[in-house]
Amino acid sequence: MDDACADAVELGLPAVTVWPNAVALAAAATGGSRVEVVAAVAAPYGASVRDTKLDEARRAVTAGARHLAVAVDAGRFRGGDAGALAGELVAVCYLAHAEGVHVRAVLQAGLLHDEEVVIAGRLAAEAGADLLQTGFGTPAEAPATVAWVQAARRAVPPRRLAIGVVAGGAGTAAAARELLAGGAARVAVADPPALLGRVAA
């Protein structure tokens, strides 16, 4: 954790994303820098129950997270439970915004059709999410595509941002540039920090 955060500071990255129980360590390791700590709540698939999500969010905010990346359960969304998911996100946003913490709604775009990404993104934005993110870049996920990013962009007002996620590997830098050219306001990389210099460049 210390090494990864030190690399992030040295490379001038805007943020690091960690599990909620690692927020305090990451906050200490990045203290005094511009690197913000993002807590991955209900990651990677959002399948945890509402109270667990709220507990993770509360602990992460208390420990120093400046953003929460909250996974939206694609299975429940497709199964017709969108209203309950929106209610969970409203509760998390209320908790976070009261402390000045931003919320990213993480849509597992690889599990949704493009129009479903748009609908899920609109629900998330209406629930109070500040940003949309296409996934967490786990090994099981397909690489992010420009189409996912553009679907997320269609879902949110112009003032809000869409974040594309690439899983890393040999083509990380090229994939990141493609997502940025395709409309992503930011790109998150699920990769060891040693490879991020090429992406930051």
**pTM for the structure as a whole:** 0.85
Q: Where are the domains of the chain?
A: 2-200
Q: Is the pLDDT of residue 35 over 80?
A: yes
Q: What is the pLDDT confidence band of residue 197, given thresholds at 50, 70 and 90? A: very low
Question: Which H or E run contains 195?
Answer: none
The pLDDT tens digits of the residues spanning 57-105 come to 999 999 999 999 999 999 999 888 999 999 999 999 999 999 999 999 9
Q: Note the pLDDT of residue 72.
A: 92
> Which superfamily, per CATH, for 2-200?
Aldolase class I (3.20.20.70)
Give the range among 41-50, 65-74, 77-86, 136-145 with minimum mean pLDDT.
136-145
Which residues are CB-contacts of 83 (< 8 A; sequence separation ≥ 6)?
A: none
